[in-house]
A = this chain, B = another copy of it.
Amino acid sequence: MTDLSNVKALAWDVGGTIFDWHHTIKGEVSAIAKAQGVELDAAAFTNMWRFTMFTRLQLVRRGDLPWLNADQLHRRVLDEVMDAHPQLTLDPSERDELNQVWHRMDCWPGSAECLEALRSRYRVTVLTVMSWAIAVDCSKHNGISWDGILSCEFLGHYKPEPEAYQASARLLGLDISEVMMCAAHKGDLQAAARAGMPTAYVPVVGERGEGNDPDLSPDPSFTVNATDFADLSRQLLA
């Protein structure tokens, strides 16, 4: 049995791990296309928006773009995604409005219950590259409460830089070995482990839409591998 007695707080990824960006955004984009009477691959539109945003975030990390938060990056990238889908027509204010869809992402089934249960034993916090407002608004949209929400937007470093994980522990007044990173993304957890954090992996099926799952198998290098949210609660509360 894994010894979790040293773990006092959890730092959760939320974009993709707790909040279902793909289906929420695909649904909204599909509805707009339908209203305009145009054919559109809304899943491809959505994934292009998400993944291009991360390529831009990489430029911010490297200092090749000025410091921007996720809302600013989403908005810039939306213009590129719209250029690639010329059948859809949105003026700048309609694009600003669509950009707010990131603030209303639905959560994955079972995630809210898991987080609430974990709060009985741990300080359950967020460590996200999304903006603080996205995390606050999506949590409220789903009725989820945290013990605290940290966004890389004000930590001066974006995950997976080690400084982001270190800041999360420092601000909690804890040693980094006492804060467990929880995520559905192996790269995030691997970076957290390199920074000194214990790690918990929870696979999320369908994050990028149906049939686009990466390797969701357990990784023995993580402290905990769960099969789903309910299993994660059980393991962390054992």
Contacts and interface: CB of A to CB of B under 8 A. Distances in A.
Nearest to A122: B140
- How many copies the complex holds: the figure is 2
Contacts of A149: 148-149
Nearest to A71: B173
Interface stretch (A36-44, A129-137, A223-231): A129-137
Contact of A140 (B123, B150, B151, B171): B123
A32 interface: no
Contacts of A155: 154
Contact of A172 (B133, B147, B150): B133
Name which of A123, A125, A135, A136 has the most chain B CB atoms within 10 A of its CB: A136
Contacts of A140: 123, 147
Interface string A151-187: 1011100000000000000011100000000000000
A125 B173 CA distance: 20
A139 interface: yes
A17 to B, nearest CB: 18
A60 B151 CA distance: 24
A212 B88 CA distance: 65
Nearest to A140: B147
Interface in A22-74: 71
A171 B147 contact: no
Nearest to A134: B173
Interface of A: 71, 103, 123, 125, 131-133, 135-137, 139-140, 145-151, 153-155, 171-173
29 contacts: A71-B173, A103-B173, A123-B136, A123-B137, A123-B140, A125-B136, A131-B171, A131-B173, A132-B148, A132-B150, A132-B172, A133-B171, A133-B173, A135-B148, A136-B147, A136-B148, A136-B172, A137-B173, A139-B147, A140-B147, A145-B145, A145-B146, A148-B149, A149-B149, A151-B171, A153-B171, A154-B154, A154-B155, A154-B171
